[in-house]
Copies of this chain bind each other. A is one copy, B any other.
Amino acid sequence: MEPTLFSIGEFSKVTGLSVKTLRFYQEKDILTPSRIDGESGYRYYDQTKIEQARIIVNLRAMEFSIEEISVILKECGDERDVLAALRQKKAQIEQRIRRDRDVAACLDRIIAKETEAQRLVEQSAFAVENKSLEPMLMAGIRMKGKYSDCGKGFSQLARALGRHIAGKCFCLYYDGEFRDEDADFEACFPLRKEVSAEGVSVRTLTGGRVLSLIHKGPYDQLGRSYAKILRDAKERKLELQLPTREVYLKGPGMIFKGNAKNYLTEIQLPFTAGT
């Protein structure tokens, strides 16, 4: 008549629950030994506890907390409550699935951007090119101050135009020279369609021929690339025009500052052919 008793080690193997977990479940009063030896303190479990353990394992697999399991096991009287608990748990899990989907989508976008950026870094040839630009619909905010203030312009534009933005941000420079303090420039974004926003100039930027050079590295070293492209312009006897442009192909991302050594900036100097 004596039922087979398992020591905690044996019962652990039978149920797949660790010894520590079994002791923990006893403490939480959801799976208690059938008998505890008074002298040694050894725990013994009988057959019926295997069923109980299986139930707990199942509930844990369905993400019920120990507390919830405790309640469910105790009030196994009202099945309506159990059904309600199941439905609620399912709702929780579906909620998490939705959130996870959003997160995954977000990660996807960032991954795509970063991948594209890396591709750009690896592809870029770093030679002066003579190329032709299409006219482009754009939005800009004209600013006076330090070059580094353009970031504020970009975020203002991004807030105002959001999803209408169609490409990388760029700047137009209206000074013929380098100005440290009160430069005259315009922070810009290409646009998908014509929209208007307060304080923003929306217009079509003329295309035409430009001398182009992709600068790789931090912004404070743009000077070297300017030297190179200007030397080239002189050799080619080109007559440069204002405003000049800088397209920020890859800079600090929204999430990651990135390594400034890998920033990519395209310098574009519009020109009309000289003699």
Binding site for B on A (CB under 8 A): 55, 58-59, 61-63, 72, 76-80, 82-83, 86-87, 89-90, 93-94, 96-97, 100-101, 103-104, 106-108, 110-111, 114-115, 117-118, 254-259, 262
* A and B contact pairs by CB, cutoff 8 A, 11 listed: A55-B255, A55-B256, A63-B103, A72-B256, A76-B256, A79-B114, A79-B117, A79-B256, A79-B259, A86-B110, A87-B111
Give, as a whole number of angstroms, the nearest-CB distance from A274 to chain B. 41
Question: What is the count of identical protomers in the complex?
Answer: 2
In the complex with contacts A90-B107, A93-B104, A101-B97, A79-B255 CB distance below 8 A? no
Contact A93 B87 (CB under 8 A): no
A75 nearest CB neighbor, chain B only = B259
A55 nearest CB neighbor, chain B only = B255
Query: What B residues does A101 contact at CB under 8 A?
Result: 97
- Kindly state the separation between the CA atoms of A135 and B252 in the bound complex, as whole angstroms: 75
Give the 4 A-B CB pairs with smallest separation, nearest first: A90-B107, A97-B100, A93-B104, A77-B259
Query: What B residues does A61 contact at CB under 8 A?
Result: 103, 106
Contact B76 A106 (CB under 8 A): no
A102 nearest CB neighbor, chain B only = B61
Contact B111 A90 (CB under 8 A): yes
A80 nearest CB neighbor, chain B only = B118
Give, as a whole number of angstroms, the nearest-CB distance from A207 to chain B. 32
Query: What B residues does A111 contact at CB under 8 A?
Result: 83, 86-87, 90
- Kindly state the separation between the CA atoms of A63 and B103 in the bound complex, as whole angstroms: 8
- Kindly state the separation between the CA atoms of A254 and B52 in the bound complex, as whole angstroms: 11
Give, as a whole number of angstroms, the nearest-CB distance from A264 to chain B. 12
Give, as a whole number of angstroms, the nearest-CB distance from A81 to chain B. 10
Query: What B residues does A96 contact at CB under 8 A?
Result: 96, 100
Give, as a whole number of angstroms, the nearest-CB distance from A71 to chain B. 12
Query: What B residues does A254 contact at CB under 8 A?
Result: 58
Contact B255 A58 (CB under 8 A): yes
